[in-house]
Amino acid sequence: MQARRFRNLSFDLAGKVTFIAQGPTGQPLQPGDRVRAGQLLAAVDDRQLQSDRDQAQARVTEAQQEQVARQAQVAVAQAQVAQAQAQVAEAEAQVNRSRSALNLAETELRRYEGLAQQGIVSPSDLDVRRNQVQDALAGLRATEARVSAAQGEVSAARAQQLATEGQLKAAGARITTAEAGVAQATLAMEKAKLYAPFDGLVGHLNLRLGEYYVPQGGTAQLDQADGAGSVPIVLYDPMELVVEVALPADGQLQAELGQVAFVLTQASEPELGSGSGSEPGSGLGLEQANPVQSQMQSPIQGRVMAIAPAIDPSLRSRQVTIAIERGGELLQHGDWVTAMVVTATAEAAVTVPLEAVVYRDRQPYVFVADALEKDVSATGASMPVLPGSASVGKGDRRPNRGLALTQQRPVQLGISGLTEQQILSGVGVGEAVVVEGQSRLAGNMPVQLLDGLGTNWSAELPGKSDLN
């Protein structure tokens, strides 16, 4: 028996249980209490986790402040690069002016040298022109040096800019790392708390306030046997319950989608009769009482919703899933139940109680009690004492009211129901059949019928029997 929607809720870390939610009565949660989706159900001590998160958040703040400082440094470096580039441009303009002045001085020098050869200008005037060429050449060299210096400043400013940009990226990376630390610490804190993922019922609760919880090495699936004992909280949706049954793959029982099924819990199944000793057809010569001896007054009813297409090779069975449609409030996730699928029905069937059928040497029998009309003592036979009855032996002259003679009749069986077995032949309508004490009976034995004790049954002819 399991819910179609269920969840194992487990802490992923060890710690002291510091919180368990209150149930409807104001007491800590108990199995069967309803919870709401998103409700905090339990928590373990997370003070160390809170400290880790605070430290991670502090590292985020520190990295963010460093990022702001690095951004300012990058802006300064970019301004320095721009200033250096402007100085280079100015120095290059001066170089052009100095080169123009040098060209002009050289032109004048060549003109004056021609005039000096003609005797038109004096040597001193020629010397002046030569000095002007030297001055222009010196100016050109000076401006070219300033260009080189400005270019060096540009390179230095760019290197500083690259360095500060690298530091800015490093600050961003530290922010990302610190934020990841915050997220990790926050996630760890969430793992210290258990929240209800949906509206449902608490199936199992394995927590106590003040106890120290230690994870069991992983979360078991809910359908595993150890889930109820090791998982802190088992939550399931009681509105969607299903039964998983293994149907023998021998072909004798054919389940189909949509077939009606009845479910019996262990609490609703009665104890086996004293005659249950072997399976039908075991060849042990013992009688066998059916394990389902009475039908619930309000049976839990479902319908076949899925049939596995493959056969389990180890169990030689096919899995059948039954969806519960009525009586689900009587079931709990994890219950062991008996499911009976209605695979056939019979109109106007002759039926006897299931426990009336016994097996001897693989042959089904029913003991029929025929009322006696003569003195029991005439038979000279001993009579078994049924529960609550008195023995009637040889020479006993008690009245014969309530006495009967048994007949062990072989019967041909039809289909079985929750409480009744269809009889195709061997027993007629209205005949009294024995349902207890068959292990001490044989054919033609006198017995005393007990009214009101459930030891005598009559076959009846119902209007319709649903059998499976």
**What confidence category does residue 423 fall into, taking pLDDT thresholds of 50, 70 and 90?**
very high
**What confidence category does residue 5 fall into, taking pLDDT thresholds of 50, 70 and 90?**
confident
**What confidence category does residue 222 fall into, taking pLDDT thresholds of 50, 70 and 90?**
very low
Q: What is the mean pLDDT of residues 56-62?
A: 90
Q: Which of 123-127, 240-244, 264-268, 355-359 has the highest mean pLDDT?
A: 355-359
| pLDDT of the residue at 251 | 62
Strands 351-353 and 357-360 turn out to be: unpaired
More confident residue, 443 or 217: 443
**What confidence category does residue 217 fall into, taking pLDDT thresholds of 50, 70 and 90?**
low
| pLDDT of the residue at 253 | 62
Indicate if the alpha-carbon torsion angle 379, 381, 384, 388 is positive or negative. Answer: positive
Report the percentage of the chain scoring pLDDT > 90.
Answer: 12
Residue type, 215: P
Yes or no: say if 411 and 365 are a contact pair by the CB < 8 Å rule. Answer: yes
Yes or no: say if 44 and 207 are a contact pair by the CB < 8 Å rule. Answer: no
Whether 12 shows a pLDDT value over 70: the answer reads yes
**What confidence category does residue 267 fall into, taking pLDDT thresholds of 50, 70 and 90?**
low
Q: What is the mean pLDDT of residues 419-423?
A: 88
Buried b (16+ CB within 10 A) or exposed e, 57-82: bebbeebeebbeebeebbeebbebbe
CA atoms within 13 A on the CB side of 78: 7
Yes or no: say if 358 and 438 are a contact pair by the CB < 8 Å rule. Answer: yes
Torsion angle of the four alpha carbons 143, 146, 150, 151, in this order, in degrees rounded to the nearest 10 = 70
Q: What is the mean pLDDT of residues 118-138?
A: 86
| pLDDT of the residue at 402 | 63
Indicate if the alpha-carbon torsion angle 403, 406, 412, 414 is positive or negative. Answer: positive
Yes or no: say if 150 and 81 are a contact pair by the CB < 8 Å rule. Answer: no
**What confidence category does residue 413 fall into, taking pLDDT thresholds of 50, 70 and 90?**
very high
Sheet with 241-248, side-by-side order of all strands: 2-3, 241-248, 317-326, 300-307, 260-265, 337-341
Yes or no: say if 213 and 15 are a contact pair by the CB < 8 Å rule. Answer: yes
| pLDDT of the residue at 390 | 28
pTM summary value = 0.48
Q: What tens digit of pLDDT does each residue of 296-338 get? A: 444 688 899 888 888 888 878 888 889 888 887 777 777 788 8
Whether 40 shows a pLDDT value over 90: the answer reads yes
385 in helix, strand or coil? coil
| pLDDT of the residue at 358 | 93
Long-range pairs for 205-210: beta carbons < 8 A, 24 or more residues apart: 205/29, 205/30, 205/31, 205/232, 205/233, 205/234, 206/230, 206/231, 206/232, 206/233, 207/17, 207/20, 207/42, 207/232, 207/233, 208/17, 209/17, 209/18, 209/19, 209/20, 209/28, 210/16, 210/17
Domains in the chain with CATH codes = 12-21+33-45+192-236 (2.40.50.100), 50-190 (1.10.287.620), 241-342 (2.40.30.170), 351-467 (no CATH)
Q: What is the mean pLDDT of residues 348-356?
A: 89
DSSP H helices, 119-233, are 123-191, 227-230
Q: What tens digit of pLDDT does each residue of 145-201 get? A: 888 888 888 888 888 888 888 888 888 898 998 899 888 888 888 888 999 999 988
Rg (CA), the chain: 51
Whether 142 shows a pLDDT value over 50: the answer reads yes
Whether 380 shows a pLDDT value over 60: the answer reads no
Range with the lowest mean pLDDT among 37-46, 262-271, 452-461?
452-461
| pLDDT of the residue at 220 | 39
Whether 459 shows a pLDDT value over 80: the answer reads no
Length of the chain in residues, anyone?
A: 468
Q: Where are the beta strands (DSSP E) in 27-98?
A: 34-35, 40-44
CA-based nearest residue to 408, from 364, 376, 459: 364
In angstroms, the CA 192 to CA 216 distance is 15
DSSP result, 396-460: -----TTEEEEEEEE-EEEEE-SSEEEEEES--TT-EEE-S-GGG--TT-EEE--TTTT-EEE-B
**What confidence category does residue 252 fall into, taking pLDDT thresholds of 50, 70 and 90?**
low
